[in-house]
Amino acid sequence: MINRLFKSTFLFSLIAILSCGNIEADKNKTEASSEKKQDSVNSEETIEEIVVGANRTELYMPMLHGKKVGLVGNQSSLVLNKDKKSVHLVDSLLALNVDLVKVFAPEHGFRGKADAGEKIEDGKDPKTGLPVISLYGSNKKPKPEQLKDIDVLIFDLQDVGARFYTYISSLHYVMEACAENDIQLLVFDRPNPNGHYVDGPILEKEYKSFVGMHPIPTVHGLTMGEYAKMINGENWLKDGISCNLEVIKMSAYDHQKKYSLPVKPSPNLPNDKSINLYPSLCFFEGTNVNAGRGTNKQFQVFGSPFLNNEAFSYSYTPKSMEGAKNPKHLDKKCFGEDLSNNKYLDQLNLEWLIKAYNNTENKAEFFNSFFTKLAGTKKLQLQIENGLSAEEIRATWQDGLAEFETKREKYLLYE
Report the percentage of the chain scoring pLDDT > 70: 86
pLDDT band at 47 (very low <50, low <70, confident <90, very high): low
- pLDDT at residue number 361: 94
User: Regarding beta strands 301-304 and 334-338, do their DSSP bridges make them parallel or antiparallel, or are they unpaired?
Assistant: antiparallel
Q: Among 4-18, 251-265, 310-324, 356-370, name the one with the lowest average pLDDT.
A: 4-18
Q: Among 137-141, 173-177, 234-238, 365-369, name the one with the lowest average pLDDT.
A: 137-141
381-403 mean pLDDT: 98
- Nearest CA to 352 among 362, 363, 337, 333? 337
List CB contacts of 110: < 8 A, sequence separation 6 or more: 73, 74, 75, 103, 125, 132
**DSSP line for 373-403:** HHHTSSHHHHHHHTT--HHHHHHTTHHHHHH
- pLDDT at residue number 122: 78
Quickly count: other Cβ atoms within 10 Å of residue 24's Cβ.
10
Quickly count: other Cβ atoms within 10 Å of residue 378's Cβ.
13
Q: Does the pLDDT at position 1 exceed 60? A: no
Angle at the Cα of 241 (from 236 to 243), degrees rounded to 5? 90
Residues 252, 16: Cα–Cα separation, whole Å: 52
Give tens-digit pLDDT for 190-216.
Answer: 999 999 999 999 999 999 999 999 999
Q: What letter does residue 151 receive in the DSSP assignment?
A: S
The neighbouring-strand residues paired with 355 are none
209-225 mean pLDDT: 98
- pLDDT at residue number 11: 38
First to last CA, the chain: 77
Name the burial class of residue 185, with classes exposed (0-12), middle (13-18) and buried (19+) by CB atoms within 10 angstroms of its CB: buried
Ordered by start, the domain boundaries in the chain are: 53-248, 272-375
Q: Does the pLDDT at position 9 exceed 50? A: no
Mean residue pLDDT of the chain comes to 88
pLDDT band at 109 (very low <50, low <70, confident <90, very high): low
The more confident residue out of 89 and 14 is: 89
369-382 mean pLDDT: 98
Element (H, E) at 301: strand 301-304
Q: Are 290 and 303 in contact (CB under 8 A)?
A: yes
Give tens-digit pLDDT for 239-294.
Answer: 999 999 999 999 999 999 999 999 999 999 999 999 999 999 999 999 999 999 99
Chain centroid to CA 105: how far?
A: 18
Superfamily the domain 53-248 falls into? Uncharacterised protein PF07075, DUF1343 (3.40.50.12170)
In the chain, count of helices (H) and strands (E)?
A: 12, 12
Element (H, E) at 362: none
Q: Does the pLDDT at position 45 exceed 80? A: no
Core vs surface per residue 334-370: b (16+ CB within 10 A) or e: bbbbbbeeeeebeebbbebbbbbbebbeeeeebbeee
Angle between helices 351-358 and 272-281 (to 10 degrees): 60
pLDDT band at 16 (very low <50, low <70, confident <90, very high): very low
- pLDDT at residue number 114: 44
Maximum distance among all alpha carbons in the chain? Answer: 113
Give tens-digit pLDDT for 111-168.
Answer: 545 445 555 667 888 888 999 999 988 889 999 999 999 999 999 999 999 999 999 9
Q: Does the pLDDT at position 87 exceed 70? A: yes
pTM score, whole prediction: 0.86
Chain centroid to CA 103: how far?
A: 22
175-180 mean pLDDT: 98
Residue 267, sorted as left (phi over 0), alpha (psi -120 to 50) or beta, turns out to be: alpha
Residue 125, sorted as left (phi over 0), alpha (psi -120 to 50) or beta, turns out to be: beta
